[in-house]
Amino acid sequence: MTSTGTPPTFEHSFADLPERFYQALTPTPVAAPTPIRVNRALAEYLGLDADWLASEAGTAWLAGNTITPGSRPLAAAYAGHQFGSFNPQLGDGRAILLGELQGTDGRRMDLQLKGAGRTSWSRGGDGRSPLGPVLREYIVSEAMAALGVPSTRALAAVSTGEPVYRERSLPGAVLARVAASHIRIGSFEFFAARKDREALEILVRYTLERHYPELADAANPGLALLESAIRAQASLVSRWQLLGFIHGVMNTDNMLLSGETIDYGPCAFMDAFNPDTVFSSIDHGGRYAYRNQPGIAHWNLACLAQALVPVLHEDSEQAVALAQGAVDTYGDQFLEAHTAGLKAKLGLKLVEDRPEDAALIEDLYSLMASEATDFTLTFRRLADLASPDTAGDQDCGELYPLPQSFDPWLARWRDRLAAEPVDSQERQEGMYRANPVFIPRNHLVEAAIAAATDEGDFAPFHALVDRLADPWTWSSEDRSFALPPGPEQQVYQTFCGT
């Protein structure tokens, strides 16, 4: 624990990289920082004193108004493909890395303030963040972590006491974000675009040591890193698909080499199943629709491979062949991860593949699409039905009965389950762990943001964060958190809020 009254001491492995990797600068102070929420469990994990973080001194520190003496805050350089077009110069335009802290498990974690003021990468932006996107990121990133999906985390949110001007004047806020690192595909693209092979080599070594230390001595470090990133993304995006999570802005600057989900701008979970669902207000072509996410990750990994070509082999043809070979493994890796996850959701986890399984799964998805059933609650309902006698407290049937048109499919599924030598209660418990009942419903996220922004009422925000800390355990008192939106509650668009 940090002793009360002193800000934590950071490590600075990223700041030790060459100067062209970042701009050294401090956050721009804000007028009147006030606390919104401190994540006590995460503070404890990082060895921070949550009471101090919530104090006046801690709040000023979380807003960037005071800086740990001797620390070396910075804004990192990166490039990126945004909606398919390359931008060689993005970088942290409104986020400042304070430094690194060690988790209780010894992992090195970045602590970054998002909305901390202008940097040399801000272009026309004000370096600030409105309250809404800060709350959205807090709610959804913490929900993702509770759902077991690798994600950046929210350590705290504070209000700045300053307005931010977008389409209208909005209250400003700062999010203290924790991540295994903030190294993006775009970080490599930045140096590749400048033909800075030395920097690429340094970044490869740094990233390997930080995220894949068991490969630090690999004969071909660039290839080892590329393969690891491909494996991590295939697994990550399969998790998104299995939960109905739509990221919304899968640009290459928003994909981390660590395999954590980052950038909760226009993200949302799907309610009624429709594979074409898009939420982002700026995604006119549906590039980042639910159904496109696995393919976009593939495309982004090809950008990473392209950026790494100069360090894969001295002979450029061989380098390209190595890059291509690695990227070509993505499809099978995604499919394997996704199929394993689907089987867990359907209670088929413990047995061998059968030829009819693919059709069983496809037919369920067709049925969900044609009936527009709720993605989350359809799967949750299957868990109840897997062992109706023992479903007990977990049974949410009265909450969400499946339409009768599901009956023939349910009969096929039950036959399939019956062919397995698995204890039905054990299977059901597994299904309850694979099929959450509480997800961050977009209409509730929007309502929490509206209450805080328009009325200064943070109660719905806190209630949502508290409820989503346990997504698996049904409680009938909390039905309003589990239900899909009614017709008048539907939210069709989300905004980046930049």
CA–chain centroid gap for 360, Å, is 30
User: In the complex, which residue's CB is closest to Mg ion?
Assistant: 263
Residue of 26, 55, 120, 498 interacting with ligand AMP (CB under 6 A)? 498
Dihedral sign for Cα atoms in the order 308, 183, 283, 366: positive
Closer by beta carbon to ligand AMP, 2 or else 122: 122
What 8-state DSSP symbol labels residue 374? B
Residue 89 as a binder of ligand AMP (CB under 6 A): the answer is: no
Residue 126 as a binder of ligand AMP (CB under 6 A): the answer is: yes
Residue of 49, 92, 260, 446 interacting with ligand AMP (CB under 6 A)? 92
Catalytic residue among 49, 110, 253, 263: 253
Closer by beta carbon to Mg ion, 263 or else 374: 263
Q: Please list every residue from 226 through 255 that binds ligand AMP, using CB under 6 A.
A: 249, 253-254
Residue 93 as a binder of ligand AMP (CB under 6 A): the answer is: yes
Give the binding-site size for Mg ion (rule: CB under 5 A): 2
Residue 35 as a binder of ligand AMP (CB under 6 A): the answer is: no
Residue 263 as a binder of ligand AMP (CB under 6 A): the answer is: yes
Q: Is 428 helix (H, G, I), strand (E, B) or coil?
A: helix
Token look-up 């062992």 returns 387
Q: Please list every residue from 239 through 278 that binds Mg ion, using CB under 5 A.
A: 254, 263
Residue 125 as a binder of ligand AMP (CB under 6 A): the answer is: yes
CA–chain centroid gap for 334, Å, is 17
* 380 exposure class (CB count in 10 Å sphere: 0-12, 13-18, 19+): buried
Active site residue 466: no
Of 1-9, 125-133, 202-210, 407-415, the window that binds ligand AMP (rule: CB under 6 A) is: 125-133
User: In the complex, which residue's CB is closest to ligand AMP?
Assistant: 125
Residue 91 as a binder of ligand AMP (CB under 6 A): the answer is: yes
Interhelix angle 357-371/330-346, nearest 10 degrees: 80
Q: Is 38 helix (H, G, I), strand (E, B) or coil?
A: strand
Contact 481, 448 (CB under 8 A): no
Alpha helices in 244-374 (DSSP H): 293-312, 316-327, 330-346, 357-371
Give the binding-site size for ligand AMP (rule: CB under 6 A): 18
Q: Shortest approach of ligand AMP to residue 114 CB, angstroms?
A: 9
Residue of 27, 64, 127, 484 interacting with ligand AMP (CB under 6 A)? 127
Residue 122 binds which entry of ligand AMP, Mg ion, none, CB below 5-8 Å type-dependent: ligand AMP
What 8-state DSSP symbol labels residue 124? T
Q: Which amino acid is located at 81 in the chain?
A: H
CB count within 10 Å of CB 370 equals 11
Residue 265 as a binder of ligand AMP (CB under 6 A): the answer is: yes
- Measured CA to CA, the distance from residue 185 to residue 260 in angstroms comes to 12
Residue of 21, 121, 334, 461 interacting with ligand AMP (CB under 6 A)? 121
Residue 338 binds which entry of Mg ion, ligand AMP, none, CB below 5-8 Å type-dependent: none
485 DSSP β-pair partners:
none
For 448, residues 6+ apart whose C-beta sits below 8 A from its C-beta are 135, 139, 460, 461, 463, 464
How many DSSP H helices and E strands does the chain contain? 17, 12
Closer by beta carbon to Mg ion, 142 or else 263: 263
Residue 496 as a binder of ligand AMP (CB under 6 A): the answer is: yes
Q: Shortest approach of Mg ion to residue 109 CB, angstroms?
A: 18
CB count within 10 Å of CB 274 equals 15
- Percent helix, strand and coil across the chain, each to the nearest 5: 45, 15, 40
Q: Shortest approach of ligand AMP to residue 220 CB, angstroms?
A: 31
Q: Shortest approach of ligand AMP to residue 91 CB, angstroms?
A: 6
The residues binding Mg ion (CB under 5 A) are 254, 263
- Catalytic residue annotation: 253
Query: Interface with ligand AMP by CB under 6 A: which residues?
Result: 90-94, 121-122, 125-128, 249, 253-254, 263, 265, 496, 498
